[in-house]
Structure 1
Amino acid sequence: MNITIVAGARPNFIKIAPIIRAIEKNKSEGKNVSYRLVHTGQHYDKNLSDTFFEELNIPKPDINLEVKSGSQAVQTAAIMVAFEQELIQNPCDLVLVVGDVNSTMACAIVAKKMNIKVCHVEAGIRSGDMTMPEEINRIVTDSITDYFFTTSDTASNNLKMYGANPENIHFVGNVMIDTLYQNLDRISAPNFWDDYQLEQNNYVVLTLHRPSNVDEVTSLIDLLQGIDEMVKDKKIIFPIHPRTKAILGDYELNLKNIVFVEPQGYLHFMFLIKNSFAVITDSGGISEETTVLKIPCFTMRNNTERPETQSIGTNTLVGTSIENLRKVYRNFIQTGKKESGIPELWDGKASERIVEILLKK
């Protein structure tokens, strides 16, 4: 079996790393499997892309389509045009896509129109929010996927409700957690750790990237000032995306606790998460890692496509208002961590299951 693996953005890189490791293990054992790694170039800043390949020991991509940024339509179209040429020049038996970025949907569409089987890792997750570009990418990708690999029973049931063939739905666990377990002994403190006198449990990690939170400068400043005032006794480490930094520009923020740092590589970022007091984020994926690491996570969204991180894990949805975040955080300070567990099959072996199943197809 010849598999083309697609990666386009940072979360993709984290997800493909253990899959590649599992393929290479099977290949070394004499199994008939090979792969070609395609980087679409959807994220191209070295701090946001190349670093993940280096840190996670992912082989250099066989090709970088160098699509880069653009509107949703422009970027998706560019990926499709470039990926079509890639498949014409390098035919394969299966295209494996992960996650829910534009590269995921675009490459799945191209593959199916060329009558190539599609495998979707992290299939079936749904937020129910059609204003999210990722939700559209998920629905379109799953509507044409041949083999579905899910992180939870909830995701599997979503697919069944959409009419997917149950025989092709495989609950295998979470490849993000595979990568976490495989690298826990390699994580390390970032260079600024001592500069800011950081210690375990004496800081909060903040990440913000959703347009609703960062695209309007006044509301972004209000949000940052609110969080800064709310977390009175701890530093707040905020790895700020270059785009968000540009939006803030030269505004005078007068922040006492928030420390702006550059985007972090995987190993440094996971070190920050593992040793933090809590995490405040608008990301969906980070709540998976905080769940396994037993770190309280407060997600500034009205919905989540990963409900198990809330029902089983350490995640709490707090909506998008600073007032509600302040209320929930205050309650957390008073009552302490909520009881939590680790979702089923989040055991570090999802990638092994995926490759084992594919080799039987």
Structure 2
Amino acid sequence: MNLTLVAGARPNFMKIAPIIEAIEAKKKCGADINYRLVHTGQHYDEHLSGRFFDELHIPRPDINLGVGSGTQAEQTAAIMIGFENELKYYPSDLVMVVGDVTSTMACTIVAKKGGIKVAHVEAGIRSGDIGMPEEINRIVTDSLTDYFFTTSDYANANLKGLGVPESKIFFVGNVMIDTLLKQEPRFKQPTLWNDLDLSPKNYFVLTLHRPGNVDAPQALKQLVAGIVKHSKGLPVIFPVHPRTEKLLSTLDLNLDTLHCLKPLGYLEFNYLVKNALAVITDSGGVTEEATVMHVPCMTLRTSTERPETCAIGTNVLVGNDPEKIEHTFDLLHAGQWKTGGIPELWDGLAAERIVDHLMTIFEL
């Protein structure tokens, strides 16, 4: 079987890494399975993509489509043109896409128009917020997918509600947690740890990138200022996404305990998350990692495509409501945060299950 693996943005790399490792293990046992790794170049910043290949021991892509920046439409079109050429010269039996970024949707469309079957890893998740570009990507991708690899019973139920046959749904767990558990012993203390005199459970980690939180200057300023206020003097470590950095530089924040920095590598960032008192984020992936590491997590959104992190894990939705944010901080400071558990099959073996299913599907 010739498999094409697609990655385009930072979260994709963490999901692709264990799948490649599982494929290589099968190949060593004599399985007739080959893969070609396509990087669309959707994340073109070295801080967001380049170093991840080295840190996670991912083979260099067979091709980088070099899409770069642009509007949603421009990126989608560029990815589709580049990927169509890729499949023309390197035919595939199956295209595997992961997550919910623009590359996921665009490459799915191209594959299906070319008569190639698609497997979607992390299929079926839904936030219910059609205003999120990722939600549109999920809906389109799952409407075309042939094989659905899921992370939770919530995702399974969503797919069944759409009429997807159970025979096409494979509950395998969470490949991003495969990477987290494997790399946890290698987490690396960043240099800022000593520079800022940090210590475990004595600081916060903040991440923001969703348009609803970062595109309105005054709203962003008030949100960040409120978080710093409720941190009660503890450091707030804020690795700033490139799209947020431009806007943030125009704001007069001047908050002594707010420390803005360039995006960190995977090993350094998760070292900070693991040792933080809590994480404040609008990233779905960070909520998953925080849940598995039992770190309290406040999500600055009103809905989530990962409800298991709230129902089972350590995550709480606070939106950008000042009163709810303040109340949630009060619970944390009072030591009243809920005790979270780890969702079913988030055990580090999801990628092995995926490849085992592929072996059965294609009778390898």
Q: TM-score range by the shorter chain?
A: over 0.9
1:90 corresponds to which residue?
A: 90
Query: How far apart, CA to CA, are the structure 1 residues paired with 2:226 and 2:57?
Result: 39
Query: How far apart, CA to CA, are the structure 2 residues paired with 1:237 and 1:248?
Result: 14
Q: Which moved more, 1:122-131 or 1:325-334?
A: 325-334
- The CA RMSD measured in Å over matched residues stands at 0.9
How does 1:148-227 map onto structure 2 within 5 Å?
148-227=148-227
Query: How far apart, CA to CA, are the structure 1 residues paired with 2:228 and 2:122?
Result: 34
- The answer on whether the counterparts of 1:227 and 1:322 sit within 8 Å (CA) in structure 2 is no
- Cα distance, 1:250 vs structure 2: 4.3
Query: How far apart, CA to CA, are the structure 2 residues paired with 1:252 and 1:69?
Result: 27
- The answer on whether the counterparts of 1:228 and 1:256 sit within 8 Å (CA) in structure 2 is no
- Cα distance, 1:332 vs structure 2: 2.2
SS in 2 for 1:233: coil
1:128 corresponds to which residue?
A: 128
> Is 1:321 matched up with 2:307?
no
Amino acid paired to 1:217: P
Residues 330-360 of structure 1 show CA distances to partners (whole Å, capped at 9, x for unaligned) of 1222243312110000000000000000011
Amino acid paired to 2:38: V
Residues 157-176 of structure 1 show CA distances to partners (whole Å, capped at 9, x for unaligned) of 10010111210100000001
Tell me the TM-score normalised to structure 2 length. Answer: 0.98
- Cα distance, 1:253 vs structure 2: 1.1
Aligned residues: 361
2:73 corresponds to which residue?
A: 73
Query: How far apart, CA to CA, are the structure 2 residues paired with 1:115 and 1:90?
Result: 14
Query: How far apart, CA to CA, are the structure 2 residues paired with 1:76 and 1:175?
Result: 25
1:3 corresponds to which residue?
A: 3
- The answer on whether the counterparts of 2:217 and 2:251 sit within 8 Å (CA) in structure 1 is no
SS in 1 for 2:206: strand
> Is 1:37 matched up with 2:46?
no
Q: Percent identity?
A: 60
Q: Which moved more, 1:178-187 or 1:238-247?
A: 238-247
Query: How far apart, CA to CA, are the structure 2 residues paired with 1:47 and 1:280?
Result: 21
- The answer on whether the counterparts of 2:223 and 2:320 sit within 8 Å (CA) in structure 1 is no
- Cα distance, 1:85 vs structure 2: 0.3
- The answer on whether the counterparts of 1:239 and 1:264 sit within 8 Å (CA) in structure 2 is yes
How does 1:16-27 map onto structure 2 within 5 Å?
16-27=16-27
Query: How far apart, CA to CA, are the structure 1 residues paired with 2:273 and 2:154?
Result: 26
Residues 87-106 of structure 1 show CA distances to partners (whole Å, capped at 9, x for unaligned) of 00000100000000000000
Amino acid paired to 2:59: P
- The answer on whether the counterparts of 1:15 and 1:98 sit within 8 Å (CA) in structure 2 is yes
- The answer on whether the counterparts of 1:273 and 1:295 sit within 8 Å (CA) in structure 2 is yes
Query: How far apart, CA to CA, are the structure 1 residues paired with 2:227 and 2:13?
Result: 30
Residues 21-80 of structure 1 show CA distances to partners (whole Å, capped at 9, x for unaligned) of 000000011111110000000001101111111100000000000001111111101100
- Cα distance, 1:249 vs structure 2: 2.3
SS in 1 for 2:268: helix
1:243 corresponds to which residue?
A: 243
- The answer on whether the counterparts of 2:331 and 2:337 sit within 8 Å (CA) in structure 1 is no
1:272 corresponds to which residue?
A: 272
- Cα distance, 1:284 vs structure 2: 1.1
Q: Which moved more, 1:253-262 or 1:103-112?
A: 253-262
Amino acid paired to 1:230: H
- The answer on whether the counterparts of 1:232 and 1:257 sit within 8 Å (CA) in structure 2 is no
> Is 1:283 matched up with 2:261?
no
SS in 2 for 1:279: strand
Query: How far apart, CA to CA, are the structure 1 residues paired with 2:283 and 2:60?
Result: 27
Amino acid paired to 1:150: T
Residues 94-128 of structure 1 show CA distances to partners (whole Å, capped at 9, x for unaligned) of 00000000000000010011111100000000001
Structure 2 stretches lacking a partner, 5+ long: none
Query: How far apart, CA to CA, are the structure 1 residues paired with 2:28 and 2:359?
Result: 14
Query: How far apart, CA to CA, are the structure 2 residues paired with 1:225 and 1:128?
Result: 29
Query: How far apart, CA to CA, are the structure 2 residues paired with 1:278 and 1:249?
Result: 25
